[in-house]
């Protein structure tokens, strides 16, 4: 392992590990959830950004920084072997610095959440607390730490909590039923699972990489799950927003989420028919952005 000269401490760490993807992705997550809730809650008008939107985006980014610091610490042993260029592995930042920085990141997230509502702050506290609980579980339960499928399942509650967080505050949930609201996190969690599985699906899995999904369930099953999660997210979204009941002349935009479903199909075609060795990663990442933008489009034209 090469130990490099320290370069910028926590600021450089966050730039390297979070930018530019995190701010874009987390902002789209919030606005897409708000837009979807506007539609299923039968709002009196289209979605528009509010101060609550901005505060939630900032709070989720602060929480995201906290989670990134937690992940890099709990994955340190794994990263020493499989990701030797990470800042913590190379000594460009220390565990102590990360733990010190976690405190203001959590306080900022909670303060921003509290500015929206009590429930927003509670949701954030649950997200942060669950990440620490999972860290504790991984340090003591080998199956949770080393089996990627079990670990993936264990992470899902955090995704549900994050979507629930985005549903708090303005614009509110309108007259959406509890069943509809409970289904919204399924859309966003399935989208994340689509990306996460694609990231570690390959026909060339390193036998020493116990966290490869292909190593545990095989590349065919792993690739199939990538496709199914992407299609499932789109299907549930369309069933919840029922664009056929309100789209009218705006139908080309209202039905755009279905177009996003082409992208998981293209990824699956490349992996199964094109026989590429490593599952495409760019397309699943692009799918998240495109899919969330199509949900935003629905919210903007809902009437």
Per-residue pLDDT, 208: 62
pLDDT of residue 210: 67
Task: Please give the pLDDT value at position 161.
Answer: 97
Provide the greatest CA pair distance for the chain.
61
If you ran DSSP here, which 8-state letter would residue 272 be given?
Answer: I
pLDDT computed for residue 4 by the predictor: 43
> What pLDDT is recorded for position 211?
74
Residue 295 CA: distances (Å) to CA of 37, 121, 161, 241? 10, 25, 19, 9
Token digits for 86?
A: 């990470």
Distance between CA 151 and CA 200 in Å, rounded?
13
| DSSP 8-state code for residue 2 | P
Is residue 42 left, alpha or beta, with left meaning phi > 0 and alpha meaning psi from -120 to 50? left
Q: What is the pLDDT of residue 213?
A: 87
Closest CA to 92 of 222, 2, 195: 2
C-alpha 164/C-alpha 158 separation (Å) is 10
Rounded CA-CA distance 190/273 in Å is 24
Q: What are the residues facing 202 on neighbouring strands?
A: 278
Q: What is the pLDDT of residue 133?
A: 97
Helical (H) or strand (E) element with 17: helix 9-18
**Whole-prediction pTM:** 0.93
190-214 CB burial, b ≥16 within 10 A, e <16: bbbbbbbbbbbbbbebeeeeebbbb
Distance CA 11, CA 97 (A): 11
Average pLDDT for runs of 10 along the chain of length 303:
57 94 95 98 94 98 98 93 93 96 98 98 98 95 91 95 96 93 98 95 73 87 97 98 96 97 97 93 96 98 94
Question: 298, 36 in Cβ contact below 8 A?
Answer: yes
Give pLDDT, residue 155. Answer: 95
- The residue among 162, 303, 165 whose CA lies nearest residue 243 is 303
Asked if residue 164 lies in contact with residue 185, where contact means CB atoms within 8 angstroms, the answer is yes
Instruction: Please answer whether residues 72 and 89 qualify as being in contact, where contact means their C-beta atoms are separated by less than 8 angstroms.
Output: no
> Residue 1: what pLDDT?
37
Question: What's the confidence (pLDDT) of residue 295?
Answer: 98
| 102 CA to centre of own chain | 20
Please report the pLDDT score of residue 215 as a whole number: 84
């Amino acid at each position: 392992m090469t130990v490099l000269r320290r370069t910028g401490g926590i600021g450089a760490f966050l730039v390297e590990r979070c930018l530019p993807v995190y701010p874009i992705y987390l902002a789209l997550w919030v606005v897409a959830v708000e837009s979807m809730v506007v539609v299923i809650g039968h709002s009196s008008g289209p979605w528009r950004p509010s101060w609550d939107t901005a505060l939630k985006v900032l709070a989720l980014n602060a929480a995201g920084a906290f989670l990134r610091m937690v992940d890099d610490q709990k994955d340190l042993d794994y990263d020493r072997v499989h990701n030797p260029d990470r800042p913590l592995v190379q000594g460009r930042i220390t565990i102590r610095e990360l733990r010190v920085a976690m405190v203001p990141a959590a306080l900022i997230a909670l303060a921003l959440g509290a500015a929206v509502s009590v429930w927003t702050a509670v949701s954030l506290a649950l997200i942060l607390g669950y990440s620490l609980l999972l860290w504790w579980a991984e340090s003591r339960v080998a199956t949770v730490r080393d089996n990627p499928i079990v670990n993936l399942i264990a992470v899902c509650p955090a995704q549900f909590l994050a979507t629930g967080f985005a549903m708090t505050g303005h614009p509110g949930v309108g007259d959406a039923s509890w069943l509809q609201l409970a289904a919204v996190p399924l859309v966003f969690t399935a989208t994340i699972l689509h990306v996460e599985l694609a990231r570690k699906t390959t026909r060339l899995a390193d036998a020493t990489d116990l966290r490869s999904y292909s190593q545990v369930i095989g590349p065919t099953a792993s690739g199939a799950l990538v496709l199914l999660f992407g299609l499932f997210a789109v299907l549930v979204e369309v069933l919840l927003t029922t664009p056929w009941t309100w789209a009218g002349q705006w139908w080309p935009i209202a039905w755009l989420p279905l177009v996003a479903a082409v992208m998981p199909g293209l990824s699956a075609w490349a992996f199964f028919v094109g026989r590429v060795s490593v599952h495409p990663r760019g397309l699943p990442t692009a799918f998240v952005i495109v899919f969330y933008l199509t949900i935003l489009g629905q919210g903007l034209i809902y009437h």
